[in-house]
């Protein structure tokens, strides 16, 4: 989540390069932040704020925040109840103190936000990131208000006056409240630092959080079709607007936090005023409709869960199957290698046996031929001895011939055996 400072700086520079910037609004917002950052430490350096100053500042902060949540948002943008003229006038006046633009412009943007939430056309959608929805969107030069979206508001003379003379309302209401608190607390400089600068800072960011973190961090029990979330901490910071998932699901309900333990002072104030006749016709969505919506949201959640479980299981099985297949391929390669080795060994052994037999054939044939040659020589010697009639030599030659004949006979027999043996050798089959 943490983004390096350099990346943030690059993105900010990109934003200012790529967009048509309203330098007046940028100058005012950036400027008062800088003035506050200097003035507050300087003030505290000289002393502490008085209790009345802090109490009046807190009261103004509360009233102005309620003017946004009860007034700009739930009354004027969404028409979730009706208010008596005096309440409406007070909401317009203290809404002007917040310096968040006219009711017409604010409601126009907010109605677009609900209509196009998270998509193009949503002026402060989080689809462009946290900082865009929190503050950057205001720095872009805005298109003129589409009056058809705010016809109902323009019919009201007080609201129309605030829109057409916004600067007068804004400056007048701030001068009155700031100077008024300064005088009441007997500290004009403190009034400027606390009741104007610090109060403005807190109420601005309190409201901007609804557009930024109330669309990012929290639960979405009523609908997952938009990015709005429910978040108790944001409810504390935004005077009850933190149940934003409920609000985007049932924008026509004057409540945002619907349980008794939900922190929603805006709802309580509207309800209290209705008890003294200052507000009326409070619109609320019935419990059964809410339950039906919860079931639908749960159903979507469960189906989503089942889909993701099935998807994960299938992916797991596919992976396991692939691993087994890879393993089988490896085994097969191993077997093929071992088989090849065995075949090579058998081949070599077979060739060696054939070679040995071939040598035996050579040797045996030589032996037979040599023996026959010797016998021939012995026969010739016998004949020669007979011609000269040497008795002893004749006898010796006869004996030698007889011995050689026996030897040739034996060699022949061995040869015949070898011939039969070799001829019986057949090709080996697997
Ligand atoms: Zn929203
Ligand atoms: Zn709204």
Q: How far is the CA of 44 from the centre of ligand 2 (A)?
A: 38
Ligand 1 center from residue 407 Cα (angstroms): 120
- What's the pLDDT score for residue 2? 62
Q: Report how far residue 38's alpha carbon sits from residue 197's, in angstroms, rounded to the nearest whole number.
A: 11
Please give the C-alpha separations between residue 253 and each of 73, 210, 218, 243, in angstroms, as whole numbers: 11, 17, 20, 12
Q: Work out the average pLDDT over 98-126.
A: 94
| CA 184 to ligand 1 centroid distance, Å | 37
**Structure letter (DSSP) for residue 35:** H
The whole-number average pLDDT for the span 199-207 is 96
Highest mean pLDDT among 199-213, 318-332, 338-352: 199-213
Q: Picking from 154-158, 306-310, 320-324, which range would have the lowest pLDDT averaged per residue? A: 306-310
Please compute the mean of the pLDDT values over residues 14-32 and round it to a whole number: 93
Ligand 1 centroid–CA 218 distance in Å is 13
pLDDT of 6 = 84
Contacts of residue 402, defined as CB under 8 A and 6 or more positions apart, other chains included, come to: none
Distance 209 CA to ligand 1 centre (A): 10
DSSP 270-295: HHHHHHTTSEE------HHHHHHHHH
CB crowding 307-317: b at 16 or more within 10 Å, else e: eeeeeeeeeee
Mean pLDDT of the chain, nearest integer:
91
The C-alpha angle with vertex 300 and arms to 294 and 302, in degrees rounded to 5, equals: 100
Q: How far are the Cα atoms of 61, 74, 158, 188, 372 from residue 170, in angstroms, in the given order?
A: 16, 21, 14, 19, 140
157: which 2 tokens?
């003379």
What distance in angstroms lies between residue 152's CA and the mean position of ligand 1's atoms?
Answer: 21
- Gap between the Cα atoms of 227 and 247, Å rounded: 12
DSSP conformation letters of 98-116 = TTS--HHHHHHHHHHHHHT
Task: Please state, in angstroms and rounded to a whole number, the distance separating the CA atoms of residues 281 and 81.
Answer: 5
Write the secondary structure of 327-342 as one string of H (helix), E (strand) and C (coil): HHHHHHHHHHHHHHHH
Question: What region does 111 belong to: left with phi over 0, alpha with psi -120 to 50, or beta?
Answer: alpha
Span from the CA of 244 to the centroid of ligand 1 (angstroms): 6
- Give residue-wise pLDDT tens across range 131-141: 999 999 999 99
Q: What is the pLDDT of residues 368-413, one digit of tens each?
A: 888 888 888 888 888 888 888 778 888 888 888 888 888 888 888 8
Model-level pTM greater than 0.75? no
Q: Which ligand is nearest to the CA of 133?
A: 1
Per-residue pLDDT at 430: 52
- The predicted model gives 277-285 an average pLDDT of 95
Reference 69, options 243, 218, 192; nearest CA is: 243
- How far is it, in rounded angstroms, from Cα 140 to Cα 412? 117
């Amino acid at each position: 989540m943490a983004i390096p400072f350099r990346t943030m700086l690059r993105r900010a520079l990109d934003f200012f390069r790529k967009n048509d910037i309203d330098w007046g609004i940028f100058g005012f917002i950036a400027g008062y932040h800088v003035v506050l950052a200097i003035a507050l430490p300087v003030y505290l350096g000289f002393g502490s704020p008085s209790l009345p100053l802090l109490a009046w500042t807190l009261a103004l902060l509360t009233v102005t925040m309620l003017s946004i949540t009860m007034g700009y948002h739930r009354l004027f943008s969404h028409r979730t109840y009706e208010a008596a003229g005096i309440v409406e006038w007070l909401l317009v006046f203290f809404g002007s103190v917040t310096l968040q633009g006219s009711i017409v412009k604010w409601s126009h943007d907010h109605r677009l936000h609900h209509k196009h939430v998270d998509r193009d056309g949503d002026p402060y959608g989080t689809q462009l990131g946290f900082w865009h929805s929190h503050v950057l969107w205001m720095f872009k030069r805005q298109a003129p208000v589409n009056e058809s979206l705010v016809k109902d508001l323009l019919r009201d003379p007080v609201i129309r006056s605030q829109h057409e003379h916004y600067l007068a309302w804004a400056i007048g209401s701030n001068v009155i409240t700031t100077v008024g608190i300064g005088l009441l607390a007997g500290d004009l400089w403190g009034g400027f630092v606390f009741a104007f600068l610090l109060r403005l800072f807190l109420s601005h960011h309190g409201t901007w959080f609804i557009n930024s973190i109330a669309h990012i961090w929290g639960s979405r029990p009523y609908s997952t079709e938009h990015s709005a979330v429910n978040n108790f901490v944001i409810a504390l910071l935004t005077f009850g607007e933190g149940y934003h998932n409920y609000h985007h699901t049932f924008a026509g309900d004057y409540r945002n936090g619907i349980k008794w333990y939900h922190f929603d002072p805006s709802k309580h104030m509207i309800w209290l005023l209705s008890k003294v006749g200052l507000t009326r016709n409070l619109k609320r969505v019935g419990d059964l409709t809410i339950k039906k919506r919860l079931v639908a949201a749960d159903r979507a959640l469960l189906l989503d869960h089942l889909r993701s479980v099935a998807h994960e299981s299938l992916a797991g099985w596919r992976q396991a199957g692939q691993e087994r297949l890879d393993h089988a391929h490896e085994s097969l390669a191993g077997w093929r290698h071992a088989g090849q080795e065995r075949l090579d060994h058998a081949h070599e052994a077979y060739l060696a046996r054939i070679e040995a037999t071939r040598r035996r054939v050579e040797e045996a044939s030589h032996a037979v031929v040599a023996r026959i040659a010797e016998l021939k020589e012995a026969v010739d010697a016998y004949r020669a001895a007979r011609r000269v009639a040497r008795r002893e030599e004749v006898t010796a030659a006869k004996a030698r011939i007889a011995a050689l004949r026996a030897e040739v006979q034996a060699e022949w027999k061995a040869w015949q055996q070898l011939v039969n043996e070799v001829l019986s050798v057949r090709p080996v089959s697997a």
